[in-house]
Chains A and B, each alone.
Chain A
Amino acid sequence: MAIVHEFSIAEALADQVLAHAPEGARVREVEVRIGALRGIEPDALRMGWDSVTFGTPLAGAGLTIDLRPWSIECSSCGRAWTSSVPFVSCECGNETPTPHGTDELDLVAISVDEEET
């Protein structure tokens, strides 16, 4: 089921990239930034991306995913760190440090081939 969610996002992303790419320019790379709250599996998003761009002018464009991790804060000892999962124990023994995630889902940049003029 999660894969379908990543497919919808890949579709929206492809539309957006096409809208921004100069007419006829070949898109080499697409950079996205995704907050931990979104719960997006990078592999599923890549699979979705490859699938929705297959046979389109975007075929072969790479996807660089900057997955922002959870920020974990321990209220017992004050330690702060980042983690790929929200529920983790602190080395001080506290089993319930507080996770903070962000929910950005942004197209950061695209890299395109341009003809020399």
Chain B
Amino acid sequence: MEEKGAQMAGSTHTVRVPIAQRVLEANDEIAAGTRTQLERRGIFSVDLIGAPGSGKTALLEATLRAVAGRHRPAVLVGDLATRRDGDRLARWCDRVIQISTGEGCHLEASQVRDALGRLDLEGVDLLFIENVGNLICPVGFDLGQSAKVGLFSLTEGDDKAAKHPYLVAEADLLLLNKIDLAPYVQFDRAGFEADVRLLNATVPILDVSAATGAGMEAWLDWLEARAAA
């Protein structure tokens, strides 16, 4: 009954109890429920993860403009304190829910589930979840999304992929934003891709500019192909 190494101390002894369970199991179970709900409704969902200033909101604005009339999108946007991102996106989409995370550096599955409960999903076929600006914390928290998209940008520097291996390894797609700034910033595009390839041999990398619209078509093609699959 006692395991090896149990210590006797007065009238108590210490027993080691094996558990072997995922620490984030509670989060993962909620995410699994969300995934089932979204799949049943035929909604393709993207968890968009990128650093502050990488252009997550700008990319979504451009994306919402581009899919207008062809798709029925909805957006959940996580932000620490303000409603600014949500207000920007609401100009292009009538189904936007802002999730204020307070001090939380990432979205968790329960926040997404609760926000979806406040959203009219009738007819919706695309769901974008803009995570809190952060390349580390959001990666490990499953939200129930169909795909995880990592957003990097030229102005962050070409070493960001190497410094954030979890996002690169887990991403279904990587977007490299602000390519319109290529003439003005030092960015070793080949080195960036080589780092990505060491961590993830197959993830597509698409160069885009949310500002000029360059490369947006390839991103939309990817979305529509994955949504139809």
Contacts and interface: CB of A to CB of B under 8 A. Distances in A.
Nearest to B25: A16
A106 interface: yes
Interface residues of A, number: 38
A9 to B, nearest CB: 6
Contacts of B139: 39
Nearest to A104: B22
B23 A9 contact: yes
Given A12-B24, A15-B26, A109-B18, A5 B105 contact: yes
A32 interface: yes
Interface string B24-40: 11110000000000000
Given A16-B25, A39-B136, A96-B198, A108 B18 contact: yes
A114 B13 contact: yes
What does DSSP make chain A's interface, helix, strand, loop or mixed?
mixed
A2 B105 CA distance: 9
B15 A111 contact: yes
B13 A103 contact: no
Contact of B24 (A105, A108, A115): A105
Contacts, number: 119
Contacts of A114: 12-15
Interface string B205-228: 000000000000000000000000
A112 B15 contact: yes
Given A20-B17, A39-B165, A116 B24 contact: no
Contacts of A104: 22
Nearest to A39: B166
B137 A5 contact: yes
A42 interface: no
Given A8-B104, A113-B13, A114-B12, A2 B18 contact: no
Given A86-B199, A109-B16, A32 B108 contact: no
Contact of A37 (B20, B27, B165, B195): B165
Contacts of A99: 165, 198-199
Contacts of A101: 165-166, 169
B13 to A, nearest CB: 6
Nearest to A15: B26
Contacts of A87: 162, 195, 198
Interface in A81-106: 86-87, 96, 98-99, 101, 103-106
Given A105-B22, A105-B24, A5 B136 contact: yes
Interface of B: 9, 11-27, 103-106, 108, 134, 136-137, 139-141, 162, 164-166, 169-170, 194-195, 198-199
23 contacts: A4-B103, A5-B136, A13-B23, A15-B26, A16-B26, A20-B17, A37-B166, A37-B169, A37-B170, A86-B198, A87-B162, A87-B195, A98-B198, A99-B165, A101-B166, A103-B170, A108-B20, A109-B19, A110-B16, A110-B19, A113-B15, A114-B13, A116-B12
